[in-house]
Amino acid sequence: MFVVKASGEKEEFDPEKIKRTCLRAGASEEFAEEISNKVKQEAYDGISTKEILHLTLKYLKKKPSVASKYNLKRAIMSLGPTGFPFEQFFAEILQNYGYNTTVGKVIDGKCVAHEIDIVAEKGGTRYLIECKYHDNPGVYTGLKEAMYTYSRLLDLEQKFDKAWLATNTKCSDDARQYSDCVGERVTSWNYPEGKSLRNLIDEERLYPITILKSVNKNVMNELFEAKIMTLKKLVANEKKNIQKKTKLSEKTLNKVIKEAEKIINPN
């Protein structure tokens, strides 16, 4: 039985993949097994990954916090429509891993001036980070983006030590091969193993605010303006401080923070 991915590619249906994702989202072994078996019973040859997601979320409804985290990829794609919120989000992730970051800094190169998505520093190494945000899971970040990122480093090589390409979807094999050859770092949804975007989020529970069901577009934009991109930062901030930076009412904030706390600490 084959599954059709968003890119149009086919892969063999693997119920263990559903189980692993449920476990990563906080489901118990028994519940994850139950969900994967139910989806397996309804799956058919040629089913789309989108329909598998829909079926899984239907059965996860009785565990809202697990359902929210299971749908993490969609939440990140909801950071758009522009790429700027993703840049802020990735910068906030890096801060939690000990990096000093600056977003949108303009720096003069040898030939031209460059607006750098993220300037990050850690352990004496200064990184030029190019972020590529996509709102469609079938879109890959390719060789062109990898080469473009490295070419900026060449023009700014006296001011940076390393180039870094970050994306919320997948990188093509050519992009990864080129980046590996020139010593450029890559962070995509599922690469590199153990340090992918998904791993970085899960390890420190750095879920985006778009994962919340209580966050509509207006609330989301207010939190973006206050540079609050993750549930962790939302919960850590004093409510009074958030109210000063936003136009959100106390009632709305209470609702949003309560849901965020349940997802971060479901027990």
> Mind listing the pLDDT tens digit for each residue in 122-137?
999 999 999 999 988 7
Structure tokens at 239: 């409510």
Q: What is the mean pLDDT of residues 192-211?
A: 93
What pLDDT shows up at residue 14? Answer: 92
The 10 Å Cβ neighbour count of residue 32 is: 22
Structural domain spans, the chain: 2-70, 90-204, 207-264
Instruction: State what percent of residues in the chain have pLDDT above 70.
Output: 99
pLDDT at residue 267 tops 80: no
pLDDT at residue 266 tops 80: no
- DSSP class of residue 106 equals E
- DSSP class of residue 187 equals E
Q: 207-264 belongs to which CATH class?
A: mainly alpha
**Residue 138 — pLDDT band, cuts 50, 70, 90?**
confident
Q: How far apart are CA 76 and CA 79, in angstroms?
A: 5
Q: What is the mean pLDDT of residues 215-242?
A: 90
Instruction: State what percent of residues in the chain have pLDDT above 90.
Output: 64
Q: How far apart are CA 221 and CA 135, in angstroms?
A: 17
What pLDDT shows up at residue 216? Answer: 87
Instruction: Name the strand (E) or helix (H) holding 116.
Output: strand 113-122
Q: How far apart are CA 201 and CA 89, in angstroms?
A: 10
Indicate the pTM of the whole model: 0.85
Q: How far apart are CA 64 and CA 29, in angstroms?
A: 17
Has domain 90-204 been given CATH number 3.40.1350.10? Answer: yes
Q: At which residue do the structure tokens 């990188």 appear? A: 171
Q: At which residue do the structure tokens 């599922």 appear? A: 190
What pLDDT shows up at residue 64? Answer: 78
Q: At which residue do the structure tokens 């001036």 appear? A: 113
